[in-house]
Amino acid sequence: MKTSEIRQKFLSFFESRGHHIVPSSSLVPGNDPTLLFTNAGMVQFKDVFTGKETRPYKRATSSQRCVRAGGKHNDLENVGYTARHHTFFEMLGNFSFGDYFKREAIHNAWELLTTVYKLPAEKLWVTVYQEDDEAYDIWAREIGVPVERIVRIGDNKGARYASDNFWQMADTGPCGPCSEIFYDHGPEIWGGPPGSPEEDGDRYIEIWNLVFMQFERDAAGNMPSLPKPCVDTGMGLERIAAVLQHVHSNYGIDLFQALIKAAARETGASDLGDNSLKVIADHIRACSFLVVDGVIPGNEGRGYVLRRIVRRALRHGYKLGQSQPFFHRLVADLVAQMGSAYPELAKNQARVEQVLKQEEERFSETLEHGMKILDAALAGVPDKGVLDGQTLFTLYDTYGFPVDLTADICRERSIEVDLDGFELSMTRQREQARAAGKFKAAEGLRYQGAQTRFDGYEHVQGRGQVVALYVGG
Ligand code: ATP
Ligand code: MG
Ligand code: MG
Ligand code: MG
């Protein structure tokens, strides 16, 4: 089953059960200025869950484009290291706004997985929240999942492991227990079942998370039950596609294989299994869709996240031997894969290519030189050693290497970076600039008659970010 069919089957399944198909919203959240990027299907429905907004339907389904590359959910550091994490991915979801609750959500999920997608039930594991006997009983008694494959997970407070089965929208507001569905990719792959010390391995992969919004937490920490509880679910399209296409890694699915081949074509790489190709294939999706949604590479906020992702992709291209701009040429391949599901991507192809090309040209001027400086510095650092803060800062300030980019290169060689030292170099440079600025201002005072106007603040374009320079007053 191709990825596009899997997406369609999901939406049709829930449509046939009374859900309204809602198109994906933008990666830039329209209703939440505190959120960097849309990172889940429920984001566009936040106000519907809280009751601030009403819709003409009580059930919805969507395939939502998501980015987790900054803010609360940041999977950027996982890309290229796990089989299951992307910066950009699609989240399939079904939602109940005060309509059905746990029983129907669980039955629907199970039916879709085992009868439409025809997954073998014995490969599925489920988790429930520690205290959620109701969900436990539905799984054990109604669905018939053997108790050995149902795991109770707490809320992670003081827990040794990463799992957390209590969801909350924010410090106050709707919250409630989760129930997650995992697929066992088999003993050849390292990893342990959910709740075990090896759960972060890639053998048991979480495919679907069902969130039951059952309570409403107030500022004092009280949690009365919601009169009309809601359901919010999220399943990673690429993860379920990997399962259905009998590959272990998300990068093995049709869509990613096409992008990996394209990346190999453009970089001249011969080994299709090279990790750098996976990273490039991941990053072209995130970067293209961010531009479609109006983000432009820049020095702050969302634009800086985009810039960092582009530069990481270019560095991987460089690692594969490509030092000329190549990244923007992958946009056409992405459109071939995703343009029909996302007409806005196809429509904006030329603009996306142009924005990425410009950003590539900008960085390719300094990438090679910066890499030589870094390589020379790293030659002096012992295995498991630390790269000094001054080099980090020079790379950032003069060569446009975001700190996370340098850290990523170092990580490949088991070297850490001195972030405190970096901050120190940055502060030192700011102070010097400030002293120089005061001097200028003092000069200005001497020439009272000169037609010099200054705003007090001057924006100086460092290669890494805008530095606000205080120049007097
Ligand atoms: P994980 O524990 O594997 O990091 P998660 O618990 O952070 O996943 P949720 O926040 O529950 O993920 O998101 C719902 C679903 O979205 C997950 O079950 C998974 O299928 C998918 N998903 C989450 N993060 C990513 C990602 N970075 N790349 C691809 N799919 C993802
Ligand atoms: Mg996660
Ligand atoms: Mg998880
Ligand atoms: Mg989860």
Query: Residue of the nearest CA to atom 3 in ligand 1?
Result: 206
Distance from the alpha carbon of residue 361 to the mean position of ligand 3, in angstroms: 38
Query: Residue of the nearest CA to atom 12 in ligand 1?
Result: 209
β-pair partners for 91:
64, 236
Tokens found for residue 413: 């060689």
Query: Tens digits of per-residue pLDDT, 422-472?
Result: 999 999 999 998 888 876 554 444 333 332 222 222 222 233 332 222 222
Integer Cα distance of 33 and 40 in angstroms: 15
Mutate to test the pocket of ligand 1, among 89, 124, 204, 235 (most ligand atoms within 8 A of CB): 89
Count of residues in the chain: 473
Query: Looking at residue 33, what is its pLDDT?
Result: 83
Q: Which amino acid is at 152?
A: R
3-state percent helix, strand, coil for the chain, nearest multiple of 5: 45, 20, 35
Using a 6 Å cutoff on CB, does residue 42 contact ligand 1?
Answer: no
Distance from the alpha carbon of residue 368 to the mean position of ligand 4, in angstroms: 40
Query: Residue of the nearest CA to atom 9 in ligand 1?
Result: 209
Query: Looking at residue 356, what is its pLDDT?
Result: 98
Q: Which helix (H) or strand (E) holds 389?
A: helix 389-399
Integer Cα distance of 143 and 38 in angstroms: 33
Using a 6 Å cutoff on CB, does residue 370 contact ligand 1?
Answer: no
Residue 101 confidence (pLDDT) above 80: yes
Query: Tens digits of per-residue pLDDT, 328-337?
Result: 999 999 999 9
Query: Looking at residue 169, what is its pLDDT?
Result: 85
- Kindly give the number of the ligand 1 atom that is closest to the alpha carbon of 79: 27
Specify the DSSP class assigned to residue 202: S
Query: Residue of the nearest CA to atom 14 in ligand 1?
Result: 234
- Which ligand gives the minimal distance to the CA of 201? 1
Q: Give residue 250's region: left, alpha or beta (phi > 0; psi -120 to 50).
A: alpha
Query: Tens digits of per-residue pLDDT, 369-419?
Result: 999 999 999 999 998 999 999 999 999 999 999 999 999 999 999 999 999
- Kindly give the number of the ligand 1 atom that is closest to the alpha carbon of 208: 18
* 3-class DSSP state of 354: helix
Integer Cα distance of 385 and 378 in angstroms: 9
Integer Cα distance of 149 and 163 in angstroms: 16
Tokens found for residue 308: 């960092």
Specify the DSSP class assigned to residue 128: E
Among 280, 264, 283, smallest CA distance to 272 is for 264
108 to each of 55, 72, 113, 210, 245, how far by Cα in Å? Answer: 22, 29, 9, 11, 22
Contact 180, 206 (CB under 8 A): yes
Query: Residue of the nearest CA to atom 27 in ligand 1?
Result: 85
Distance from the alpha carbon of residue 233 to the mean position of ligand 4, in angstroms: 10
Q: 473 pLDDT band (50/70/90 cuts)?
A: very low
Distance from the alpha carbon of residue 110 to the mean position of ligand 3, in angstroms: 18
Mutate to test the pocket of ligand 1, among 37, 91, 125, 207 (most ligand atoms within 8 A of CB): 91
Query: Residue of the nearest CA to atom 23 in ligand 1?
Result: 236
Q: In the structure, how many helices (H) and strands (E) does the chain have?
A: 14, 15
Query: Residue of the nearest CA to atom 24 in ligand 1?
Result: 85
Query: Looking at residue 164, what is its pLDDT?
Result: 79
β-pair partners for 66:
89
Query: Looking at residue 461, what is its pLDDT?
Result: 29
* 3-class DSSP state of 179: strand
Contact 312, 408 (CB under 8 A): yes
Integer Cα distance of 129 and 103 in angstroms: 15
Integer Cα distance of 466 and 301 in angstroms: 11
Distance from the alpha carbon of residue 89 to the mean position of ligand 1, in angstroms: 9
Integer Cα distance of 456 and 74 in angstroms: 36
Tokens 């001097």 locate to: 439
Query: Tens digits of per-residue pLDDT, 263-313?
Result: 999 999 999 999 999 999 999 999 999 999 999 999 999 999 999 999 999
Distance from the alpha carbon of residue 473 to the mean position of ligand 3, in angstroms: 52
Contact 315, 409 (CB under 8 A): yes
Using a 6 Å cutoff on CB, does residue 206 contact ligand 1?
Answer: yes
Integer Cα distance of 197 and 190 in angstroms: 12
Distance from the alpha carbon of residue 66 to the mean position of ligand 3, in angstroms: 16
Tokens 């990719």 locate to: 185
Integer Cα distance of 41 and 251 in angstroms: 22
Using a 6 Å cutoff on CB, does residue 85 contact ligand 1?
Answer: yes
- H-assigned helices in 31-154: 46-50, 102-111, 133-137
Query: Looking at residue 456, what is its pLDDT?
Result: 27
- Kindly give the number of the ligand 1 atom that is closest to the alpha carbon of 73: 7
Contact 326, 277 (CB under 8 A): no
Contact 259, 285 (CB under 8 A): yes
Among 54, 86, 82, 83, smallest CA distance to 68 is for 86
Q: Is the ipTM of this complex over 0.90?
A: yes
What backbone phi and psi angles, to 5 degrees, belong to 73?
Answer: -100, 110
Q: Whole-number mean pLDDT of the chain?
A: 90
Residue 246 confidence (pLDDT) above 70: yes
Using a 6 Å cutoff on CB, does residue 19 contact ligand 1?
Answer: no
- Centroid of chain to Cα 178: 21
- Which ligand gives the minimal distance to the CA of 206? 1
Query: Tens digits of per-residue pLDDT, 116-175?
Result: 999 999 999 999 999 999 999 999 999 999 999 999 998 765 444 445 799 988 888 899
* 3-class DSSP state of 5: helix
Query: Residue of the nearest CA to atom 25 in ligand 1?
Result: 85
Using a 6 Å cutoff on CB, does residue 209 contact ligand 1?
Answer: yes
Whole-prediction pTM: 0.90
Query: Residue of the nearest CA to atom 7 in ligand 1?
Result: 73
β-pair partners for 468:
459
- Kindly give the number of the ligand 1 atom that is closest to the alpha carbon of 178: 11
Contact 86, 282 (CB under 8 A): yes
Query: Looking at residue 446, what is its pLDDT?
Result: 38
Distance from the alpha carbon of residue 76 to the mean position of ligand 2, in angstroms: 11
Using a 6 Å cutoff on CB, does residue 234 contact ligand 1?
Answer: yes
